[in-house]
Structure 1
Amino acid sequence: MPYINIQVTDENVTKNQKRQLIEGVTQLLVDVLDKNPKTTHVVIQEVPIDNWGFDSKQYSETKKQ
């Protein structure tokens, strides 16, 4: 039973975009690993941009510049 966890910043990801992610990742596992879509679980977590960092900086601060 595959479990996929997708983390994205909380910047207006739409319901339709989430649906597309779930469908696309599920199909990828079917195509590449021959997994059963009925037992493939996908979770999307939206992370506040204050809690996301890169290049030693908070993304929220970088975005302001």
Structure 2
Amino acid sequence: MQQAIVGFHLDAEGHFVADLACGHTQHVRHDPPWQNRPWVLTEQGRNETLGMKLECKKCEDK
């Protein structure tokens, strides 16, 4: 199920985590070649992705 990104925070290891509209969270690492998310590296990039939808696996598992 797709959920909108409503914010971001850092985990204990300094990795960015997206806060989703459903209340769940999802890591959004830029870790090429597995995940290509250069937008997560800048505040501007993160702000521009607010509202973007990600698959929430926790919602799908309900």
State the TM-score bracket (shorter-chain normalisation): under 0.3
Structure with greater contact order relative to length (CA < 8 Å, sep ≥ 6)? 1
Which protein has the bigger helix share? 1
Which protein has the bigger strand share? 2
Larger Cα Rg: Structure 1 or Structure 2? 1
TM-score by length of 1: 0.26
TM-score by length of 2: 0.27
